[in-house]
Structure 1
């Protein structure tokens, strides 16, 4: 007796969609790539607009301020002129502090990855499932906020960050108070103003995360 030919089983559109949804990465790749691209471009443009580093270390431009008001005026002018350089210096101090404490660095990277993969750039559909339990977007957000507050304010990670920022800010203020700004062209356009600033990537991040956030509403 001849065997009957194999019958093709049609795959429904719903099953195909479910299969593709299961294969979808847990993060919205286009939005995440757009965020990284805008962040990289913003940092690169800002570093290009920084002042020459030799101007900060010019020994002939240092003198002791005669009063507290003069020191404060110098700090304001130098911060306005060397803004990008000072931000880069603070970032370097913070990076060195984190590198000297690898556990704190790992905790911060894990916290950042949690925000990116679990909320900011994760598609709203399918919902987040951890250990067999389904979490809504609101529950995910509350959980991440609680974990962030705990890590930043109730552990040694927060004290490390605050200490590094205070040390960096103190060094910046000392430099700004002793560096005479008379030779600086303060009437030029300040670096970091407008779309080329070091923090201008925040707008790009908002627009990049917009589609993923809009789908949650």
Structure 2
């Protein structure tokens, strides 16, 4: 007996969506983005003023680069993305590299281990930055890449120099005290 008008169906049902996997990914994204400081804190107008001298500027830059490193990475990557809008190949390369950034820098819960050696966040960020710039230079958007990275670095250094750093760790201590006393509420 033949069934000419029937549509063949698979005998294997499609696998159900793993809700636990989605929940873990969502939690990991939230915790990964937790290393990023609030933008409101970063651009607090009351914390912006000119440094008192060269040594004060260098001290502020060092402190702010450590404190806002994830925010600064996002700023430079956004500037780089905007500079490559008219270079589709470069945008595709940047999209692939953004996946590397997301999983190797922003969403890691534990330290990265390579050949049984622990790699710190700063080394990961430097390696990803060099890889990003190198791969984008191969896409023949050299002027755009160098201009965007230069603009991003200048903006980051200027912000780090004019952002007062004496109030940064006070916020963390106050948050730790609130959490210890049970005053912190989670949505």
Q: TM-score, normalised by structure 1?
A: 0.44
Q: Please tell me whether Structure 1 or Structure 2 has the larger radius of gyration of its CA atoms.
A: 1
Q: TM-score, normalised by structure 2?
A: 0.50
